[in-house]
Amino acid sequence: MGESFDMTGKVALVTGGSRGLGYEMAMAFARHGADVIIASRKLETCQEVAAEIEALGRRALAVASHVGHWDELPRLVEAAFDTFGRVDVLVNNAGIAPIAPRSSEITEELFDKTVGVNFKGPFRLSALIGDRMVAAGKGSIINISSTAAVKPSRTYPIYAGAKAALNIMTLAHAFEFGPKVRVNAIMCGPFWTDIAKSWREEADKNSPAAIKRIGRPEEIATTALYLASDHSSFTTGTIIKLDGGGP
């Protein structure tokens, strides 16, 4: 796998990279030779991951950034380019999935925050970095979506809608930034992460998926590595469902 997914000399930016699936992807990129920018709301946790990456002999940059805040994202982009001079791989991973028993209980603030983190932020960050990738003549953008986009629940309609919009954006940006820049999405089912502590054991035991369990964080790594590497040179505008064969 090391030779197939060699990322030596590449620079990757991962939002929500300090925990869960984002952490697994950031570490996988570093283990395969990439330098990594880790962005999330808490600087301390980003710095901890950056230290792990540097211990592997790679360069790392920790940046505190709220992806749902439109005006914060240019600062994140400038920090990345000032430090590394480019971004070869952008992973729009940060997301939130608040639930509410009824739509009438969702406040405007919660609606805006959910759409902001799951759709507005990835749109803005892709726009800022996508244009620079086009100018450089290469790049890969990976959007982390959810099967909620195609199988919504009554308890998280805003999250599902935002992820559906992210899927559409993936195809739109593939056309806008192509042919040299590829844009794809990984549409994840449930995964065993720290974020899912309250429900992961029950979901794992009662999974209706063909593999009869939920995903493990490390299982997203090979899909992300494939999309980030040159081996996926003919793959763009694609949404890969990663849910263990869910119904």
Q: In sequence order, which residues have a C-beta less than 8 Å from that of residue 108 and are 6 or more positions away?
A: none
What pairs with residue 42 in β-bridges? none
List the one residue out of 83, 71, 2, 99 whose CA is nearest residue 36: 83
H helix runs in the chain, sequence order? 20-31, 43-55, 73-84, 108-115, 121-136, 157-177, 200-205, 221-228
Q: In what order do the strands lie in the sheet with 60-64?
A: 60-64, 35-40, 11-15, 89-92, 139-146, 181-188, 239-242
159 annotated active-site: yes
Which whole-number Å values give the CA distances from 87 to 13, 156, 220, in the listed order? 7, 33, 21
Which is catalytic among the residues 23, 156, 159, 226? 159
Give the catalytic positions in this structure: 159
